[in-house]
């Protein structure tokens, strides 16, 4: 079975969040299954990866967008060290920039990527069994295959859509159809939701099957999906909930080269303490105090706006008996508020920016990881935390609910119900009690490292969906 994954991100080529981790791991684990050939197709970005690897050009052609012609080059990575074939689509003027998102002409970029990929496959008569689209940026592909005469060669290809995040649906104004490949106009309704072109809605309508990245999140979508609740109900016959895995080869505290000290299950408590001591020294913390961390995008979904209040309340209420470390970036107001707090509280450190190496160090060094998410389709941080012997403190929602059971029920972490600073701080008080109970933390560290979130199981579930 030949599967092409279409995505804007893929680790280690270009990563903004968990989408990259998933797309960089799922095909690798699918390829371990007999008879499967899974690859990744993504845009070309000006990132270190593309300069450090060699590529061969496998296609060079042109597409029309509105009144413009754009060159489309497809480059295949030569070394095959990723565990899957990687194809980068370069469209000079549109897909040749530094980052996946954040440009004024983003919609045009996403349309050009989808158009370019389908043009290449049709022109070269490459027909995979499945095209697997990830998130709204690639959500129009199932529609285009069905409705654009230029891609009739691909008609028999089955399409899958994965919803990593239903908060972002990629709505566009109708005038953007000018940038799409020509399609049969009578089917315009498939693109429409509430007066806009809605790529995520179109994906759900047109694909052969779709999934959300956890069972819990799929169930939530029936009730909270930014207006698409009725659509997901109507299309529920082809819906799956498949929990993400984690790449246990990349995320292994015993071999992780980003860590100051590697450790395994047997020396986890000591290993974590050694890493923590180094990190604490770097940020001026007392390593005897428990370390709580947050890693992630500063966005409302992640509850990042609650962080300033969480920081000052928890430090004041405990008279400074804990340390808090935040790594992330995003909303400028949150960045500003947190930066201000570092002046008042020496128990609080902030590292602004995206730093892959530092995230690994923090997972390894922390005692607790905070995830006060309002929405969390799956969440990978809590799984990385557990793999590194850290106790997750999570709001009971989406994928967090599916992966973290409260210690009071024999689970791996602390759950709380409301995305509020008070509920989070209350959970932190519970964590402090645990921290000071001799033996308890040591056992929890070990048992958390025993959880199996590896991709093998989830890859099998994807196979089941593909086969159906
Ligand atoms: P999302 O994709 O919604 O941001 P996930 O939990 O699925 O959330 O995945 C987030 C991924 O991004 C994890 O691999 C996490 O370690 C990483 N990450 C988030 N913010 C940063 C950051 N500032 N620096 C390094 N890694 C980060
Ligand atoms: C999205 C979600 C996150 C999920 C990730 C990978 O970014 O916000 O919860 O883990 O996709 O599927």
C-alpha torsion sign, points 287, 290, 295, 300: negative
How far apart are alpha carbons 370 and 406 in whole angstroms?
A: 14
Going by C-alpha positions, the residue among 61, 69, 182 that lies closest to residue 120 is: 61
Q: Ligand 2, residues 213, 300, 458: which to mutate, most atoms within 8 A of Cβ?
A: 213
Task: Yes or no: say if 5 and 23 are a contact pair by the CB < 8 Å rule.
Answer: yes
Instruction: Spell out the residues 6+ positions from residue 34 whose beta carbon is closer than 8 angstroms to its own.
Output: none
Task: Yes or no: say if 293 and 370 are a contact pair by the CB < 8 Å rule.
Answer: yes
The ligand 1 atom nearest the CA atom of 15 = 12
140 and 39 fall within a common domain: yes
Domains of the chain: total: 2
Q: Ligand 2, residues 136, 379, 400: which to mutate, most atoms within 8 A of Cβ?
A: 379
pLDDT band at 403 (very low <50, low <70, confident <90, very high): very high
How far apart are alpha carbons 249 and 242 in whole angstroms?
A: 21
When pLDDT is averaged across residues 242-258 and rounded to a whole number, the result is 97
pLDDT band at 112 (very low <50, low <70, confident <90, very high): very high
- The rounded Å distance from CA 400 to ligand 1 centre is 14
Q: Does the beta carbon of 213 lie inside 6 Å of ligand 2?
A: yes
Q: Omega of the bond prior to 12 within 30 degrees of 0, cis?
A: yes
**Ligand at shortest distance from the CA of 458:** 2
- The rounded Å distance from CA 381 to ligand 1 centre is 7
What single DSSP character describes residue 174?
Answer: G
230 and 177 fall within a common domain: yes
- The rounded Å distance from CA 165 to ligand 2 centre is 6
How far apart are alpha carbons 325 and 187 in whole angstroms?
A: 51
141 and 224 fall within a common domain: yes
Q: Is residue 260 part of a domain?
A: no
Give the pLDDT of residue 315.
Answer: 98
154 and 238 fall within a common domain: yes
Q: Does the beta carbon of 437 lie inside 6 Å of ligand 1?
A: no
E strands of 66-208, at which residues? 68-77, 85-90, 130-134, 158-163, 192-193, 196-197
Going by C-alpha positions, the residue among 271, 426, 286, 436 that lies closest to residue 363 is: 271
215 and 197 fall within a common domain: yes
Q: Is residue 262 part of a domain?
A: no
Tens digits of per-residue pLDDT, 175-226?
999 999 999 999 999 999 999 999 999 999 999 999 999 999 999 999 999 9
34 and 134 fall within a common domain: yes
- List the residue whose alpha carbon is closest to atom 7 of ligand 2: 18
399 three-class SS: helix
When pLDDT is averaged across residues 254-260 and rounded to a whole number, the result is 98
When pLDDT is averaged across residues 436-451 and rounded to a whole number, the result is 93
From the CB of residue 271, how many other CB atoms can be counted at a distance below 10 Å?
24
- Whether the per-residue pLDDT at 344 is higher than 90: the answer is yes
pLDDT band at 339 (very low <50, low <70, confident <90, very high): very high
Q: Is residue 184 part of a domain?
A: yes
Give buried/exposed letters for 235-261 (b at 16+ CB in 10 A, else e). Answer: beeebbbbbbbbbbebbebeebeebeb
Give the pLDDT of residue 361.
Answer: 98
Where helices occur in 227-267 by DSSP H, the ranges are: 229-234
Give buried/exposed letters for 138-149 (b at 16+ CB in 10 A, else e). Answer: bbbbbbbbbbbe
Q: Is residue 252 part of a domain?
A: no
22 and 122 fall within a common domain: yes
Q: Give the β-pairing of 158-163 and 192-193.
A: unpaired
294 and 277 fall within a common domain: yes
235 and 274 fall within a common domain: no
Q: Does the beta carbon of 243 lie inside 6 Å of ligand 2?
A: no
Task: Yes or no: say if 331 and 360 are a contact pair by the CB < 8 Å rule.
Answer: no
- CATH number of domain containing 157: 3.40.50.2000
Distance of CA 394 to the CA centre of its chain: 17
The ligand 2 atom nearest the CA atom of 377 = 9
204 and 341 fall within a common domain: no
Give the pLDDT of residue 295.
Answer: 98
When pLDDT is averaged across residues 9-38 and rounded to a whole number, the result is 98
Q: Is residue 179 part of a domain?
A: yes
Give the pLDDT of residue 15.
Answer: 97
Tens digits of per-residue pLDDT, 359-377?
999 999 999 999 999 999 9
Give the pLDDT of residue 438.
Answer: 78
The ligand 1 atom nearest the CA atom of 302 = 3
- List the residue whose alpha carbon is closest to atom 26 of ligand 1: 356
301 and 430 fall within a common domain: yes
- The rounded Å distance from CA 387 to ligand 1 centre is 15
Instruction: Spell out the residues 6+ positions from residue 303 whose beta carbon is closer than 8 angstroms to its own.
Output: 371, 372, 373, 374, 395, 419, 424
- Whether the per-residue pLDDT at 322 is higher than 90: the answer is yes
Q: Does the beta carbon of 107 lie inside 6 Å of ligand 2?
A: no
Q: Is residue 331 part of a domain?
A: yes
- The rounded Å distance from CA 378 to ligand 2 centre is 5
Q: Is residue 439 part of a domain?
A: yes
Give the pLDDT of residue 80.
Answer: 82
**Ligand at shortest distance from the CA of 377:** 2
Q: Does the beta carbon of 164 lie inside 6 Å of ligand 2?
A: yes
From the CB of residue 365, how many other CB atoms can be counted at a distance below 10 Å?
28
Residues recorded for the chain: 468
Q: Does the beta carbon of 377 lie inside 6 Å of ligand 1?
A: no
Q: Domain span at residue 192?
A: 2-246+456-467
Q: Give the β-pairing of 130-134 and 2-6.
A: parallel
When pLDDT is averaged across residues 258-281 and rounded to a whole number, the result is 97
- The rounded Å distance from CA 57 to ligand 1 centre is 32
21 and 155 fall within a common domain: yes
- List the residue whose alpha carbon is closest to atom 10 of ligand 2: 379
Q: What is the mean pLDDT of the chain?
A: 97
State the pTM of this model.
0.97
Q: Is residue 429 part of a domain?
A: yes
**Ligand at shortest distance from the CA of 22:** 2
Task: Yes or no: say if 123 and 70 are a contact pair by the CB < 8 Å rule.
Answer: no
How far apart are alpha carbons 221 and 200 in whole angstroms?
A: 13
């Amino acid at each position: 079975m030949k599967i092409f994954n279409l995505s804007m991100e893929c680790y280690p080529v270009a990563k903004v969040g968990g989408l990259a981790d998933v797309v960089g791991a799922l095909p690798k684990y699918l390829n371990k299954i007999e008879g499967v050939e899974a690859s990744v197709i993504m845009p070309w970005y000006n990132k270190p990866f593309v300069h450090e690897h060699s590529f061969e050009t496998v296609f060079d052609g042109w597409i029309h967008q509105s009144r413009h012609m754009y060159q489309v080059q497809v480059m295949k990575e030569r070394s095959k060290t990723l565990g899957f074939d990687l194809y980068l689509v370069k469209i000079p003027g549109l897909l040749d920039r530094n980052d996946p998102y954040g440009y004024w002409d983003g919609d045009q970029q996403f349309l050009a990527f989808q158009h370019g990929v389908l043009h290449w496959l049709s022109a070269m008569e490459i027909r995979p069994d499945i095209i697997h689209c990830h998130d709204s940026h690639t959500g129009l592909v199932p529609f285009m295959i069905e409705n654009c005469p230029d891609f009739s060669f691909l008609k028999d290809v089955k399409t899958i859509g994965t919803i990593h995040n239903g908060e972002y649906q990629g709505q566009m104004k109708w005038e953007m159809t000018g940038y799409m490949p020509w399609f049969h106009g009578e089917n315009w309704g498939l693109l429409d939701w509430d007066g806009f072109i809605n790529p995520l809605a179109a994906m759900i309508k047109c694909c052969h099957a779709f999934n959300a990245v956890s069972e819990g999140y799929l169930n939530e979508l029936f009730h909270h999906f930014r207006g698409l609740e009725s659509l997901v109900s109507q299309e529920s016959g082809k819906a799956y909930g498949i929990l993400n895995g984690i790449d246990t080869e990349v995320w292994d505290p015993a071999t992780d080269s980003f860590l100051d000290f590697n450790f395994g299950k047997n020396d986890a408590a000591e290993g974590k303490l050694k890493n923590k001591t180094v990190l604490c020294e770097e940020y001026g913390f007392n390593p005897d105090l428990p370390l709580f961390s947050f890693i992630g995008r500063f966005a409302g979904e992640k509850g990042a706006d609650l962080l300033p209040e969480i920081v000052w309340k928890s430090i004041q209420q405990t008279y400074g008996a804990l340390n808090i470390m935040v790594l992330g970036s995003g909303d400028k107001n949150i960045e500003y508020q947190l930066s201000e707090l570092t002046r008042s509280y020496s128990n609080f450190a902030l590292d602004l920016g995206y730093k892959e190496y530092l995230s690994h160090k923090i997972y390894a060094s922390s005692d607790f990881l905070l995830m006060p998410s309002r929405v969390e389709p799956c969440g990978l941080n809590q799984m990385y935390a557990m793999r590194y012997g850290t106790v997750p403190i999570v709001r009971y929602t989406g994928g967090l609910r599916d992966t973290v059971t409260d210690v009071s029920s024999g689970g791996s972490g602390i759950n709380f119900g409301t995305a509020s600073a008070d509920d989070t701080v209350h959970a932190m008080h519970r964590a402090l009690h645990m921290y000071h109970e001799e033996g308890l933390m040591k056992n929890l560290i070990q048992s958390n490292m025993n959880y199996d979130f590896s991709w093998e199981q989830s890859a099998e579930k994807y196979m089941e969906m593909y086969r159906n």
